[in-house]
Amino acid sequence: MIARRLLLAAPALLAGRAALAQAYPNRPLRIVVGFTAAGATDLAIRAIAPRMSEVLGQPVVIDNRPGAGGNIATELVVRSPPDGYTLLLGTIGPMVINPLIYPSMPFDPMADLVPVSTLVEASTILVVPAQRPWRSVADLLAAARAAPGTLNWGYSGVGTTGQLAASMLNQMAGIQTVGVPYRGGGPLMADLLAGRLDFTFSTTPPAMPHVESGKIRVLAVTTAKRSRLMPDFPTVSEGGLPGFSAESNYMLLAPRGTPQESIEVVSAAVGKALADPNVVVQLNKQGLEARPGSPAETAAYLQAELKRWPPVVAASGLRAD
């Protein structure tokens, strides 16, 4: 009799699960961004979110919560109900680097969040003011070796890809250059344009208008292979530092405990959004390449980054106050 009841109940249970899957989402989703509006991460998700909204049939709201290198936004999402309605736009900064450089954190991003999807790859470029004579990575390294400790570079935020890339450049090339901290990318770019900085590693959105106007010069991209969007620019590896690579993928993450069905729905929506030619064009204009990935692929990317960065951070001595 018990077995017969279980058999009779099984279709009802399956139907209930199907109804639950169909019901999600039934209200707006919120994507929390740990950086200011109009930055590279913000521009990326704002290009993708409208198409995601169409696919999901619900508004996708962007919520900027900058501060503490992305930790404020990350903690907000970690503490949110794991119902699939609050997601984090993540980068390797808060996910991988911050636990290495902050003396204490009230959460563990890798334990408290689960991957949903990768979104885009943000190219970082090594740029110098147009008034500097350097035309290649080799030229810059030669100048740094000729006058140790005199060349300076800027970074906005401890543990950012730009700071890590410059630290890696110093380590791999055996040079001594001086990092100058900035509160934001705007003041940093202003000083670079004025020639008060010798070089910097910048994401493409804030830098490319000045590259196109001839005010700054690109020496290289930091990706392992040449960028499809900027094929004429060599990699730092090609410029004389074999093996140099400092890439940054943006991704969506959810609080641990979020139903797998909800994660799969959002991941599929991201895939459809990034397959839209109009979205791709918007991203490409900002120097961003679509990089859709499943939850498993996103987890694999994070695991690879967990192996890559600890030695770099340890050798650089980076610490957040």
What is the homologous superfamily of the domain 28-121+248-316 according to CATH? Bordetella uptake gene, domain 1 (3.40.190.150)
Fold agreement (28-121+248-316, 124-221)? yes
Q: Which residue in this structure is represented by tokens 């729905």?
A: 265
Cβ atoms of 42 and 64 closer than 8 Å: yes
H/E segment holding residue 126: strand 124-129
Cβ atoms of 251 and 117 closer than 8 Å: yes
* Beta strands 199-203; 288-293: pairing state: unpaired
48 class by beta-carbon count within 10 Å (0-12 exposed, 13-18 middle, 19+ buried): buried
Query: How many Cα atoms within 13 Å fall on the side-chain side of residue 304?
Result: 11
Q: Percent of the chain beyond pLDDT 70?
A: 93
| Residue predicted with more confidence, 144 or 317 | 144
* pLDDT value, residue 1: 47
* pLDDT value, residue 161: 86
Tokens for 272, please give them.
């459809």
Residue 15 has pLDDT above 60, yes or no: no
Residue 12 has pLDDT above 50, yes or no: no
Residue 18 has pLDDT above 90, yes or no: no
Q: Which residue in this structure is represented by tokens 């979110």?
A: 49
* pLDDT value, residue 22: 58
Residue 9 has pLDDT above 90, yes or no: no
* pLDDT value, residue 278: 97
* pLDDT value, residue 67: 87
Mean of pLDDT over the chain:
90
Rounded mean pLDDT of 256-266?
Answer: 98
Q: What residue ranges do the domains of the chain occupy?
A: 28-121+248-316, 124-221
Rounded mean pLDDT of 174-203?
Answer: 93
pLDDT band at 5 (very low <50, low <70, confident <90, very high): very low
pLDDT (tens digit, 9 = 90+) per residue, 287-309?
Answer: 899 999 999 999 999 999 999 89
Q: Percent of the chain beyond pLDDT 90?
A: 71
Q: Point out the least confidently predicted range of 87-91, 128-132, 176-180, 310-314.
A: 310-314
CA distance 89 to 31: 6
CATH number of this structure's domain 124-221: 3.40.190.10
pLDDT (tens digit, 9 = 90+) per residue, 45-101?
Answer: 999 999 999 999 999 999 999 988 899 999 999 999 999 999 999 999 999 999 999
